């Protein structure tokens, strides 16, 4: 089953850009996922189980490395990625 996720990270830190960039860079390391980033959010497309596992691991890693942050997510069934 395919999954589409839109996620935004809001670090509770004054210098927030490095915290967000680190999270996005780690998502992009997973070659089997399609990751699209814009100025408002990051969209992730791929196999349901893999997307959920990656998000779980990377969100946990963010909390462990950088402390408090808010993640806002939308989950949609299917691959709704833009056609290339």
- Could you read off the pLDDT of 21-75 as tens digits, one per residue? 999 999 999 999 999 999 999 999 999 999 999 999 999 999 999 999 999 999 9
Q: How many CA atoms lie within 13 A of 26 on its CB side?
A: 17
At residue 84 the predicted structure's pLDDT band, cuts being 50, 70 and 90, is low
State residue 83's pLDDT score.
Answer: 81
State residue 20's pLDDT score.
Answer: 96
State residue 34's pLDDT score.
Answer: 98
φ and ψ of 81, to 5 deg: -65, 150
């Amino acid at each position: 089953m395919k999954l589409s996720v839109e996620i935004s990270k809001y670090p509770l830190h004054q210098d927030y850009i490095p915290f967000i960039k680190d999270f996005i860079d780690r998502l992009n390391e997973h070659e089997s996922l399609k990751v699209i980033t814009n100025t408002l959010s990051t969209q992730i497309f791929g196999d349901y189980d893999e997307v959920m596992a990656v998000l779980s691991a990377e969100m946990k890693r963010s909390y462990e490395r950088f402390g408090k942050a808010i993640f806002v997510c939308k989950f949609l069934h299917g691959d709704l990625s833009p056609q290339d």
